[in-house]
């Protein structure tokens, strides 16, 4: 049996990116720019717990090329879901973020912090001046305070019950207590959890799994530029912030949110002309998604055929057996082997038959580490 038997039963799971920002950062404008949505802007950090939500397709020229080669009945791109949540004002985390807001954060694979870099007298900044570095540090502290609050509550519960436990339950409580104390010490020194988790062992990672700490999540700092900052000015600002804040699992990029939103409202020909006039080489959507995927350690593999050509998203380093579950759990359960060829070999050789003739067609087992752009057919038996 081949993979296509189950392709329509379990859809791709969308990568979830939650957009956050201080009031007047323009995060909803950026949301509209990235998703081609028309969510209301100008509410300046509305306290509503209802997020703006949109799912967009991941542009991948490789999939487009495969579709042109196989002419299938359908092409299925990977998905990215953006949530634009309520603005976070300075001091909110110390009072405690709402349960609804924390629930939205818990869904996030990564956070996208929109940082105001544009000047606009009609939209006054809460701090009266635009200062990118200050605003990054302000929201970083809000996320940090939120995590500290969660940890302190958890430590209080552990300390109140640990004396009543025995045996393995006591050992688990003591282990969790030690972990929470370590993370508390890290946060108290302004070190986010994402910078220490790689040093933790597997058991500690299991303990962390249910908490969804905000400073543990990968972070994309997205500078919201004005049209007058396109080009060298914006690129220099991004480079400066990358040098200062671009640490482990933190990336920095720029987007002219208002301009990109306007481009998204044009028809393709007019949009291309507008972008050319402004010196914008590509829409921000594809670039931001690629950067987000790189930040999350994600990659794509493909399945192809007459019925469908589809992109599947997995983490770098995952095996063929793990990749099979992205399509369907039955394929993983009944895994026999994977028939693999690289995208480059298929394009260069011209057809599957030519790939076979050139010796570029491989049969791999469960432990094969999937490479970005692999084209795979899974053989399985259930």
Q: Is the pTM of this model over 0.75?
A: yes
Q: How far is CA 323 from CA 85, 303, 335, in A?
A: 31, 11, 11
> What confidence tens digit (pLDDT) does each residue in 98-149 have?
888 888 888 899 999 999 999 999 999 999 999 999 999 999 999 999 999 9
Among the residue ranges 15-24, 98-107, 355-364, the one predicted with the least confidence is: 98-107
- Please name every residue paired with 300 in a beta bridge, in sequence order, or none if there are none: 313
What six digits make up the tokens of 219? Answer: 């972070």
The ranges assigned to domains in the chain are 3-8+299-380, 15-59+72-127+215-295, 144-214
Q: How far is CA 168 from CA 155, 200, 233, in A?
A: 18, 20, 59
Among the residue ranges 174-183, 249-258, 284-293, 371-380, the one predicted with the least confidence is: 284-293
Q: What is the pLDDT of residue 147?
A: 95
Share of the chain above pLDDT 70, in %: 95
What is the domain class of 144-214 according to CATH?
A: mainly alpha
Highest mean pLDDT among 40-49, 64-73, 164-173: 64-73
Among the residue ranges 16-30, 47-61, 179-193, the one predicted with the least confidence is: 47-61
Torsion sign across C-alpha atoms 272, 275, 279, 281:
negative
- Spell out a b/e string for 331-370, using b for 16 or more CB atoms within 10 Å of the CB, else e: bbeebebbbbbbbebbeebeebeebeeeebbbebeeebeb
DSSP string, 80-144: EEEEEPPP--TTHHHH---HHHHHHHHT-SEEEEEEE----TTS--TTSS--HHHHHHHHHHHHH
Q: What is the pLDDT of residue 255?
A: 94
Asked if 370 and 320 touch (Cβ cutoff 8 Å), the reply is yes
> What confidence tens digit (pLDDT) does each residue in 332-344 have?
999 999 999 999 9
Architecture of domain 3-8+299-380: Roll (3.10)
Average pLDDT score over residue span 157-167? 88
Top-confidence residue, 299 or 107: 299
- Specify the fold of 15-59+72-127+215-295: Rossmann fold (3.40.50)
Distance CA 317, CA 299 (A): 9
Q: What is the pLDDT of residue 66?
A: 97
Distance CA 168, CA 163 (A): 13
* Strand 79-84 to 52-57 pairing: antiparallel
Q: What is the pLDDT of residue 103?
A: 87
Average pLDDT score over residue span 159-183? 91
Q: Is 240 helix (H, G, I), strand (E, B) or coil?
A: helix
Distance CA 257, CA 21 (A): 13
pLDDT band at 49; cut points 50, 70, 90 = low
């Amino acid at each position: 049996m081949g993979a296509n038997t189950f392709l329509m039963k379990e859809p791709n799971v969308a990568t979830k990116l939650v957009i956050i920002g201080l009031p007047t950062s323009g995060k909803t404008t950026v949301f509209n720019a990235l998703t081609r949505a028309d969510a209301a802007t100008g509410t300046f950090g509305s306290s509503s717990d209802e997020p703006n939500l949109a799912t967009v397709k991941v542009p991948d020229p490789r999939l487009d090329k495969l579709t042109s080669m196989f002419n299938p009945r359908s092409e299925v791109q990977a998905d990215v879901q953006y949530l634009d949540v309520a603005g976070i004002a300075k001091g909110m985390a110390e009072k405690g973020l709402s349960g609804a807001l924390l629930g939205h954060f818990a869904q996030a694979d990564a956070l996208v912090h929109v940082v105001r870099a544009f000047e606009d007298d009609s939209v006054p900044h809460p701090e009266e001046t635009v200062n990118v570095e200050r605003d990054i540090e302000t929201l970083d502290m809000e996320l940090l305070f939120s995590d500290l609050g969660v940890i302190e509550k958890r430590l209080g519960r552990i300390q109140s019950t640990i004396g009543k436990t025995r045996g393995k339950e006591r050992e688990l409580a003591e282990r969790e207590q030690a972990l929470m104390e370590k993370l508390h010490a890290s946060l108290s020194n302004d070190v986010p959890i994402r910078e220490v988790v790689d040093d933790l062992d597997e058991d500690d990672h299991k303990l962390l799994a249910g908490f969804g700490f905000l400073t543990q999540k990968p972070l994309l700092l997205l500078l919201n530029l004005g049209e007058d900052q396109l080009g060298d000015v914006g690129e220099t600002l991004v480079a400066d912030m990358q040098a200062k804040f671009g640490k482990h699992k933190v990336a920095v990029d720029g987007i002219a949110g208002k301009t990109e939103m306007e481009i998204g409202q044009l028809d393709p020909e007019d949009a291309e002309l507008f972008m050319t006039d402004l010196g914008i080489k590509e829409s921000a959507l594809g670039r931001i998604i690629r950067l987000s995927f790189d930040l999350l350690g994600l990659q794509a593999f493909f399945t192809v055929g007459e019925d469908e050509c589809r992109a599947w998203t997995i983490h770098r380093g995952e095996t063929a057996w793990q990749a099979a579950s992205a399509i369907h759990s039955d394929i993983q359960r009944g895994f026999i082997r994977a028939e693999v060829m690289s995208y480059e070999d298929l394009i260069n050789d011209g057809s599957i038959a030519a790939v076979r003739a050139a010796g570029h067609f491989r049969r791999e087992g469960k432990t094969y580490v999937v490479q970005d752009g692999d084209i795979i057919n899974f053989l399985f038996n259930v």
